[in-house]
Structure 1
Amino acid sequence: MKVTVEIECTPEEARQFMGLPDLQPMQAAVMAEMEKRVLAEMDRFSPEPLLRSWMSLVPQNSEQMQGAFLKLFQQSFTGSKSKSK
């Protein structure tokens, strides 16, 4: 035997029928607090200050870049040789 039951109701009506709590006021309060915090911290995480802090580690002109690569290669070649006697 096969029985099919179709019930048309809104999610709110289903929650009430099942005895589940209504969490919409709490969800709205949490979302409002999250929005307030995100907007307050938005300037700190804007792309320009992040890139500026990241790019401070990269040499700014060609002479600094050449020096950085030279130092990198010198360290790799001199550090990789093993001394054998």
Structure 2
Amino acid sequence: MKVTVVVDCTPEEARAFFGLPDVQPMQAAMMDQLQGKMMANIDKFSPESLMQSWFTFDPKMGERFQEMFVNMAGLATGRPKDKK
């Protein structure tokens, strides 16, 4: 014997039927708080501020990045490293 039951209701109706609490107001408050924190800190993640924070530790960091990319390009082409 096979029985199929089809229930047509909204998620709110299903939560109320099973006695689960309505968490939508709490969810909306948390999302508003999260959005406020994200908007307050969004300037920290701009490309300019990221580059500035990366290069403030060592003034020669730019030269080191350039040297690293030159070495990686040399490895990719199989060219021997120049000796000074």
- Structures share fold, TM-score greater than 0.5: yes
Using structure 2 for the length normalisation, give the TM-score: 0.65
Q: Which stretches of structure 1, 4 residues or longer, exceed 3 Å deviation after superposition?
A: none
Alignment length (residue pairs): 63
Q: Distance in 2 between matches of 1:14 and 1:32?
A: 26
Give me the CA root mean square deviation: 2.2
Name which one, 1 or 2, has greater alpha-carbon Rg. Answer: 1
Q: Which residue identity is paired with 2:19?
A: G
Consecutive unaligned residues of structure 2, counting only runs of 5 or more, are 72-84
Identity %: 52
Q: CA deviation at 1:54?
A: 2.5
Partner of 1:37: 37
Instruction: Determine helix, strand or coil for the equivalent of 1:59.
Output: helix
Partner of 1:22: 22
Q: Which residue identity is paired with 1:32?
A: D
Q: Distance in 1 between matches of 2:2 and 2:19?
A: 28
Using structure 1 for the length normalisation, give the TM-score: 0.64
43-52 vs 22-31, which deviates more?
Answer: 43-52
Q: Distance in 1 between matches of 2:4 and 2:39?
A: 50
Note the alpha carbon deviations across 1:21-76, whole angstroms, 9 max, x for none: 0000000000000000000111122111102332452229x8xx5xxx8xxxxxxx
